[in-house]
């Protein structure tokens, strides 16, 4: 005998809206859920319209309206075998989200994580070992939120984030950011299936802004070539009840080198005079006695070379009154060494060297992931006798040559603008940060107050003290970037 269930009013409100948005029927109906699922027909009153863009009429009393994503909870509460679905449709029961707060549960599935990143051409900076290593060094006193999304039990998205609570209550700012996001800054693009992006980002917004009570989500830097930020922005703008302000700003640029099939074709893309100059320098260096070029990639070679590379890199910057890459970031050398030890086991580390008489005169430190090489850092000797060979660019061409030989299609050339990279065939792309402020009075006030503090420190600490005063100090008095400033650089 058919069973008809008649309910009362249904309305997504603050405390139960996350269950509607994520399709959590159990959270909505609890013990009576089986009654709904076994019924032949369920009747209830949807007390408010589900809309994307509010267009209220003039009326007395309150005006209700919630995002159409709330229909997921209602659909999930129905009989899973009724009504029949077309072959091309998606069933809500196929979608699942898991939020992890540690890396320990991923040891067995690290390959699935990296395979997903490679499938969507995401960067090495979103790979499992990179994220885990970063967290070991910089995750202290922060809360991890790793979002994993599944459809038909197939992994379709991973977004590793963390929550940093800065200050003390009631003036404590809670900021959610991408793992690895600014220490140091890279071009990020977490792997997310585009067909599921809106649903994925809707879940992230609900978790971070509603359940975790974050004041601000800061996503980036993300390359303008990725659709990640635009899709997240669209999802946030549809959640006006949850998101008070959604904005995107251009923070920097990164350079990408597209690689052809041969070195000669790469040179063909360089402007004529520049090409002539660089080829002359290469021929000049080739005439020097005992010039050898090699590539190091084995664990035994790489770990030993890393120590030599850090010393060479530091000496290059010491003459300029700066600490260099490894000295500029908190625990910079230790963190990079841990990265090298972890990634070299997976065949993802390269040192491309030029030696003269057994002495390294140029070295390029790079990572490999998929069909992309990531040019991490260059280093060279500063002896004047080598100036005429332009070892900086000569070493870069050695990197390009080896990447082409390995079948690589592109080189990620790093963050910030460099004229010489553009002259050598590089293409600059913008790096953007998306900021979403929670729609709560306290959140809006705290974001504003910490924004003023951030602007103050950017001027007086970053631009004046660190950039201008610190390089003039004796070497023993120079220090890495202030960790508190880095936490505010959201």
Instruction: Give pLDDT tens digits for 351-367.
Output: 999 999 999 999 999 99
One-letter-per-residue 3-state SS of the chain? CCCEEEEEEECCCCCCHHHHHHCCHHHHHHHHHHHHHHCCEEEEEECCCECCCCCCCCCCCCCCCECHHHHHHHHHCCCCCCCCCCCCCCCHHHEEEEEECCCHHHHHHHHHHHHHHHHCCCCHHHCHHHHHHHHHHHCCCCEEEEEEEEECCEEEEEEEEEEEEECCCCCCEEEEEECCCECCECCECCCECHHHHHHHHHHHHHHHHHHCCCCEEEEEEEECCCCHHHHHHHHHHCCCCCEEEEEEEEEEEEEEEECCCCHHHHHHCCCHHHHHHHHHHHHHHHCCCCEEEEEECCHHHHHHHHHHHHHHHHHHHHCCCCCHHHHHCCCHHHHHHHHHHHHHCCCCEEEEEEEECCEEEEEEEEEEECCEEEEEEEEECCCHHHHHHCHHHHHHHHHHHHHHHCCCCEEEEEECCCHHHHHCCCEEEEEEEEEEEECCHHHHHHHHHHHHHHHHHHHHHHHHHHHHHHHHCCHHHCCCCCHHHHHHCC
Distance CA 457, CA 454 (A): 5
Comparing 10-24, 122-136, 254-268, 425-439, which segment has the lowest mean pLDDT?
10-24
Please name each of the domains of the chain with its CATH number.
4-84 (no CATH), 96-254+431-458 (3.40.630.30), 260-408 (3.40.630.30)
pLDDT for the residue 8: 77
Nearest one of 24, 109, 122, 116 to 73, comparing CA atoms: 24
Residue 377: CB atoms within 10 A of its CB come to 17
At 47 the pLDDT is 77
Q: Does the pLDDT value for residue 53 go beyond 70?
A: no
Cα–Cα distance between 417 and 138 in angstroms, integer? 26
The answer on pLDDT for 51 being more than 80 is no
pLDDT bracket for residue 105 (50, 70, 90): confident
pLDDT band at 38, cuts 50/70/90? low
- Which residues share a beta bridge with 436? 217, 246
The residue that leads in pLDDT, 390 or 30, is 390
What's the predicted TM-score (pTM) here?
0.79
Per-residue pLDDT band at 123 (split at 50, 70, 90): very high
- pLDDT tens figures, 279-304: 999 999 999 989 999 999 999 999 99
């Amino acid at each position: 005998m058919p069973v008809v269930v008649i309910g009362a009013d249904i309305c997504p409100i603050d405390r139960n809206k996350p269950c509607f948005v994520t399709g959590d029927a159990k959270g909505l109906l609890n013990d009576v859920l089986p009654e709904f699922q076994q019924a032949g027909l369920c009747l209830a009153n949807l007390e408010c319209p589900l809309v994307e863009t509010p267009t209220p009429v003039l009326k007395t009393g309150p005006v209700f309206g919630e995002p159409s994503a709330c229909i997921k909870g209602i659909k999930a509460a129905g009989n899973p075998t009724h009504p029949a679905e077309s072959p091309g449709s998606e069933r809500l029961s196929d979608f699942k989200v898991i939020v992890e707060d540690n890396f320990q549960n991923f040891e067995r599935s690290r390959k699935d994580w990296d395979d997903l990143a490679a499938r969507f051409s995401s960067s090495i900076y979103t790979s499992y070992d990179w994220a885990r290593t970063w967290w070991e060094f910089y995750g202290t006193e922060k809360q991890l939120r790793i979002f994993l999304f599944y459809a038909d039990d197939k992994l379709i998205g991973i977004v590793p984030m963390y929550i940093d609570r800065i200050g003390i209550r009631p003036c404590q700012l809670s900021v959610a950011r991408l793992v690895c996001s600014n220490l140091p800054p890279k071009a990020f693009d977490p792997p997310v299936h585009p067909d599921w992006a809106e649903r994925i980002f809707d879940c992230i917004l609900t978790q971070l802004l509603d359940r975790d009570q974050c004041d601000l989500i800061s996503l980036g830097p993300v390359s303008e070539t990725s659709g990640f930020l635009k899709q997240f922005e669209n999802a946030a703008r549809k959640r006006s009840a949850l998101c008070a302000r959604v904005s995107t700003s251009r923070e920097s640029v990164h350079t990408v080198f597209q690689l052809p099939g041969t070195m000669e074709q790469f040179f063909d893309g360089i402007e004529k005079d520049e090409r002539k100059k660089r080829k002359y320098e290469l021929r000049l260096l080739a005439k020097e006695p005992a010039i050898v070029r090699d590539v190091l990639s084995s664990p035994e070679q790489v770990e030993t070379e890393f120590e030599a590379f850090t010393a060479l890199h530091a000496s290059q910057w010491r003459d300029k009154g700066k600490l260099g890459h490894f000295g500029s970031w908190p625990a910079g050398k230790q963190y990079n060494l841990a990265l090298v030890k972890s990634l070299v086991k997976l065949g993802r580390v390269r040192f491309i060297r030029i030696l003269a008489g057994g002495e390294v005169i140029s070295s390029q430190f790079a990572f490999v992931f998929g069909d992309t090489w990531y040019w991490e850092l260059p280093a060279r000797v500063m002896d004047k006798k080598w100036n005429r060979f332009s070892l900086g660019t000569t070493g870069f061409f050695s990197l390009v040559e080896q990447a082409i030989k390995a079948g690589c299609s592109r080189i990620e050339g790093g963050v910030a603008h460099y004229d010489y990279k553009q002259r050598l065939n590089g293409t600059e792309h913008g790096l953007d940060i998306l900021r979403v402020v929670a729609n709560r009075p306290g959140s809006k006030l705290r974001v504003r107050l910490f924004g003023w503090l951030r602007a103050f420190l950017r001027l007086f600490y970053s631009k004046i003290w660190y950039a201008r005063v610190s390089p003039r100090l004796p070497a023993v008095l120079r220090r890495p970037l202030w960790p508190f400033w880095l936490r505010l650089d959201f």
